Amino acid sequence: MKIILKKIIFIQEGIIIKTKELIDEIVKTAEEKKGENIEVIKLRTEGIIIDYFIIITASSKMNARAVSDAIVMKLKELNNPKRSVQGHAEGSWILIDTGNIFIHIFTGEQRSFYNLEKLWKQSS
């Protein structure tokens, strides 16, 4: 997967993390927990504060929770804690908000139904 990103730097508690490095760490963590079909979408819509979507497919609700938990722990390790996590209890669509990156973890059925890739690629 080739990802071209503009240089955005996060400075939190003395740690400097570039957006590309953060995305690489999120993708690597998701892959380690068996996340599949990982796609990074650069959003170009004006008036929106989110720069990137990372979309991940999980094999089950349990797998989605495991991927989510691992990503949240990785964000903490990088001193870039998530702002919020939604959908963890239900598990078919989990959203992690890091500020400028939204991480969507779907079961396969939910990912096909919502098809965020198509929606956001058309508008960006």
Residue 110 lies in a domain: yes
Residue 37 lies in a domain: yes
CA distance 119 to 89: 26
Q: Which of 38, 22, 119, 24 is nearest to 78 (CA)?
A: 22
Q: Is 71 left (phi over 0), alpha (psi -120 to 50) or beta?
A: alpha
pLDDT for the residue numbered 117: 85
Q: pLDDT digit string (tens) for 51-67?
A: 899 999 999 999 999 99
Domain ranges, residue 60: 20-123
6 confidence band (pLDDT: 50, 70, 90): very low
Give the chain's domain count: 1
Structure tokens at 104: 């969507």
Beta-strand pair 9-12/36-42:
unpaired
Mean pLDDT of the chain: 84
